[in-house]
Amino acid sequence: EPEVTQTPSHQVTQMGQEVILRCVPISNHLYFYWYRQILGQKVEFLVSFYNNEISEKSEIFDDQFSVERPDGSNFTLKIRSTKLEDSAMYFCASSALTEQYFGPGTRLTVT
């Protein structure tokens, strides 16, 4: 069964450093998403992406965040200058249309 994969599973970084979180969406899906989940809290939408453009972004997705589809398989989330409050689980999701399927997540710890 096709699934969304994410790397790394855990990333530790120092405040102010840049991180890139990587995702491989399900191969025939056209829509891609990033969500985050702070420990013990609900899942929050960050951004959606279609046809090499951002479709929608939340107020969390400020100028320090960017997304890219550098090739035909990967979808990345870059945080330019990490803050302590960026510590969370980051989930990539993809969809052919409405139904979104999530990856296992990357736990980002900012120290």
- Which residues contact other proteins (rule: CB under 8 A)? 4, 30-31, 33, 35, 41-45, 48-50, 55-56, 58, 91, 95-105
Q: How far is the CB of 46 from other proteins (least distance, A)?
A: 9
Give the H or E element holding residue 45: strand 43-50
Q: How far is the CB of 97 from other proteins (least distance, A)?
A: 5
Q: Give the C-alpha distances (Å, rounded to integers) separating 108 from 78, 89, 98.
A: 12, 6, 27
CA gap 39, 57 in Å, rounded:
21
Q: Which residue number, 14 or 60, has a Cβ lying nearer to other proteins?
A: 60
Q: How far is the CB of 72 from other proteins (least distance, A)?
A: 18
CA gap 103, 6 in Å, rounded:
6
